[in-house]
Amino acid sequence: MKKVLITGAAGFLGSHLCDRFIKEGFHVIGMDNLITGDIKNVEHLFKLKQFEFYNHDVTKFVHIPGELDYILHFASPASPIDYLKIPIQTLKVGSLGTHNLLGLAKEKKARILIASTSEVYGDPLVHPQNEEYYGNVNTIGPRGVYDEAKRFQESITMAYHTYHGIETRIVRIFNTYGPRMRLNDGRVVPAFIGQALRGEDLTIFGDGLQTRSFCYVDDLIEGIYRLLFSDYVYPVNIGNPDEITIKDFAEEIIKLTGTDQKVIYKDLPVNDPLQRQPDISKAKEVLDWEPNVFRSEGMKLTLEYFKGFSEKELSKSDHRDFLNN
């Protein structure tokens, strides 16, 4: 049985990866320090012999006994609310954490895939964003802690590939949504759904004409799975190019939840990207991958998940801070 280490296992994406690798017959070691994750996301796997969970901070030395075949490094705060609250930890997990895991990959001769992000493109001047675009990031802006940690993460990963011959893969993930997102992480999907379910008006920051492209989690996991087993070492965008303005997206949520809320507008935050759309030509070419879950379908599944929350849980997340992520 091949063994895979998944960091950030108790988070939104990490927990879906654990499910997928278990389903594919792997022995899965989930690692997480629960700083933004929730153990409930992987509790259903605890009864399985082929699943282990280590409560560990990956910025500290990482030891795994025995052989290890693959590492997927997904540990990192991922929403602006989180990384603005814990900026130093965000920088550390992208830098020290990645360094530790690359060291582990070298020791075990394991293949490592790291989770990068569309945020490496910053507020992009090229649209849609392809992998050759170098980005437009403000190093000292509020998002710099995340964006630069991820850019460093890509650099050190390529350096380990070039100088140590480690097998590496880099995925640049664009906005992804689905069950197990945190209701109060400030990202636009749970934020809008939370507001709609609480009967509040939906808040948009700016004029709502900024665009986002949302990828359903199952599509993303499929793309990551294919990338890990491909022989492509350069970064690959995975996301859904179906672009929508935040304003139209808010209207879609109001329609979907069958409520009669309105949309209200607040000031645009600093360095909020105005456009976001992946160019997925590379993923199509090297992975034969493209998304196939329509937003209408994915949003229905996501809404079902959030409907399972109690009123008390819903009311705990009654802030819609300052973002359109």
Ligand X SMILES: NC(=O)c1ccc[n+]([C@@H]2O[C@H](COP(=O)([O-])OP(=O)(O)OC[C@H]3O[C@@H](n4cnc5c(N)ncnc54)[C@H](O)[C@@H]3O)[C@@H](O)[C@H]2O)c1
Backbone angles phi, psi at 32, to 5 degrees: -165, 145
Which burial class, exposed, middle or buried, applies to 199 when counting CB atoms under 10 A from its CB (0-12, 13-18, 19+)?
Answer: exposed
The yes or no reply on residue 58 touching ligand X (CB under 6 A) is yes
CB of 168 to ligand X, least distance (A): 15
The yes or no reply on residue 78 touching ligand X (CB under 6 A) is yes
Which burial class, exposed, middle or buried, applies to 160 when counting CB atoms under 10 A from its CB (0-12, 13-18, 19+)?
Answer: buried
CB of 266 to ligand X, least distance (A): 22
Judged by CB under 6 A, which of 4, 6, 28, 37 binds ligand X?
A: 37
The yes or no reply on residue 93 touching ligand X (CB under 6 A) is yes
Strand partners, 4: 28, 70
- CA 97 to CA 101: how far, in whole Å? 6
| Residue 70 designated active-site | no
Of the listed pieces 57-65, 158-166, 203-211, 226-234, which binds ligand X according to CB under 6 A?
Answer: 57-65
CB of 93 to ligand X, least distance (A): 4
The yes or no reply on residue 157 touching ligand X (CB under 6 A) is no
CB of 172 to ligand X, least distance (A): 8
The residue behind tokens 């290890």 is: 68
Tokens standing for residue 90: 């965000």
The yes or no reply on residue 221 touching ligand X (CB under 6 A) is no
Judged by CB under 6 A, which of 3, 22, 51, 57 binds ligand X?
A: 57
Judged by CB under 6 A, which of 51, 53, 74, 225 binds ligand X?
A: 74
Q: Helix or strand or coil: residue 114?
A: strand
Give the DSSP per-residue string, 286-321.
HH-------HHHHHHHHHHHHHTS-HHHHHHT----
**Catalytic residue (one of 70, 146, 160, 177):** 146
Catalytic residue numbers, as ranges: 146
Using CB under 6 A, list all residues that contact ligand X.
7-8, 10-14, 32-37, 57-59, 74-78, 93, 97, 115, 117, 173, 175-176
